[in-house]
Every structure is written in structure tokens, then in C-alpha cells.
Structure 1
Amino acid sequence: MNMNENVDERLVAAVMDDTQSDIDIARIAVEKIRQGAESIAAGMHGRSNVTAAFEHHDGTPMSPEEVLAHQCAHAASIGKSLGQDFLQKAPPALLEQFSAVAGNRNVADSGAMLVGLLHGFMIAFATKETEERALKAMLEVARICHEANNLRGTTFGQASE
């Protein structure tokens, strides 16, 4: 086993401990975040990319290794909440960017946030009095997604993804 594999296994173990995820989800999360970071660094995913700048509770910046672990934990949280299949299908660069923003904004649980969003939409859409507003809100999110893709030069969330 080379040094990189040892580091990955330590990172996988840390992610499992932090998120109480199973090993498969933790490994997928680590691999996706690494793939996403590499493709973004290579310039393969447009412009307007977010840089993870996580801080400790006392305001001191996290080391690059700590940032990576936290991004992987956000990805694992998504896999734990929405399922391994969802995590596997998520574009690595989008997952990396989402986890960067979640960490920068101190989101406690990315998976729970997304599940809450889905359940909230389902509740609003399934209620006669709020159905139309829920649909309008979803269409507004789709419009913002299109705008963000134009700004970034990407196609995330479109049929080909």
C-alpha cells in the first residue's frame, strides 16, 4: 500500500467517525471530493468556483487536510441522508463545490438540509393551498440554476448530467 492509500484510509475512517456513515458511503464521499477538487483545479468545470475556507470555532483557519476531511464529511452526510446511489450519481465537481459552500456557511448537516428541502417541497406541493406557490418556487430555483450555470460555464443539473 502506498502513502496515498494510507492517507485515504485514515480520511475514510475520519469521515465515518464524523458522520456515522458506513464505509462504502465514506469511501465514495472521499473519492468524489478528491475527483471534484482535481477537475476544478485542472480548470475543467468553468469559472466562478468557490474555495473552501473553513474555520474552527475560535475563528482560526483550518488546515488543508482538515478542510478536505470536512468537505468529505459533508458529502458523506448527503450519501447517508439521500442514499449511496444519489451520492454515486452526483457530479464530483458539483459535490465538491456544494460541500465547500456548506462548510463556508457552517451548515451543520448537508444531508439533513437537502432532505428538509425535498420534504418541504413535497409538503408544499401536496397541499392544495400552497401547490401553485411551491411550483413557482421550484421553477425559480431552476431559473437560478440556469443563471448559475451560465456564470460558471457549466451544465450541472441538466438532462445530460
Structure 2
Amino acid sequence: MLTIRPATPADDDSLWQIMEPIIRAGETYDFPRDTTRAAALAAWLAPGFQCFVADDGQRLLGTYVLHPNRQGGGSHVANCGYMTAADATGQGVARAMCAHSLDTARAQGFRAMQFNFVIASNHRAVKLWTGMGFETVGRLPGAFLHPVHGYTDALVMFQRL
């Protein structure tokens, strides 16, 4: 059974175990591939970010952060980032985290959610976000340097809440 809960400082090691392989691969996030543990956790747990973890009772299978996409006049739009443990992909963890984040954002009064930089070659994520009701509202040609595919488009995806 999957439980999604706020992260605690005791989760830091498990968060890094999820984050490090994703960051090192450099295929889905714009973190520099040599980002340190301290820098990655500081970014993921930044002030104003709410960090959640997906826990199966034995270990963490995923994490997401929720925060305003912008300050001031744009603060009514939420933004999220999601990471799933490599051996937990395809098990519904990201879908559960996305559903949780949409519910949490609605409950907190956000009016929309926007993903600013979805790597177009991340077909699994694009399919999931589309299936969760997001629309691609923009395409940034060649905005991401993928380690395998070279310059790859990034998508801006949006959903009204």
C-alpha cells in the first residue's frame, strides 16, 4: 500500500537515493549531472517548497515537490517536480503522486498547475501528464541538451484546477 506524506529530515538519505541516479543520467531534469547531494537536497527542499514522499511501508518509492510557479501575480499557479525510484517505475507511483499533488494544490487554493520544462523525449512522463489532464501549451525548441539525443525540445504543460 502506497502512502504519500510530507517528507521529514529523516528522509534525506532516501531522497538522495532516488534523486542521484536521475540527476546523474541527465535525461529528465536540468540539474547539472555533477550536482552534489547537499545541493540537490537544498534545491528539492528549498524554502517555500513542500516536499512529499511516496512510501510503501518499507522504503520510499518516489518524491515530489509542490510550490507556486511564480511569485506575486503568478502565485495562484502551482508547479511540481516528480522523481520515482528507478526500480519503481511503471508501478503507478508517479500517477499517485500527480493525483495527490493536484488534490493538494486544489485544497491550497491554487487555480492551475504548470510544468515549465518537461523534456519532450521523456515519452513516459508526457503520456502520463497528458493522461492526467495536462495540455501542452508551449514547445521550447532545442531547449534541453540531452546526453543521448542532443538538443531536445522542452514542453510547457498546463492544467486548470
> What is the TM-score with the length of structure 2 in the denominator?
0.29
Greater share of helix residues, 1 or 2? 1
Bigger CA radius of gyration: 1
> What is the TM-score with the length of structure 1 in the denominator?
0.29
Where relative contact order (Cα < 8 A, 6+ residues apart) is larger, the structure is: 1
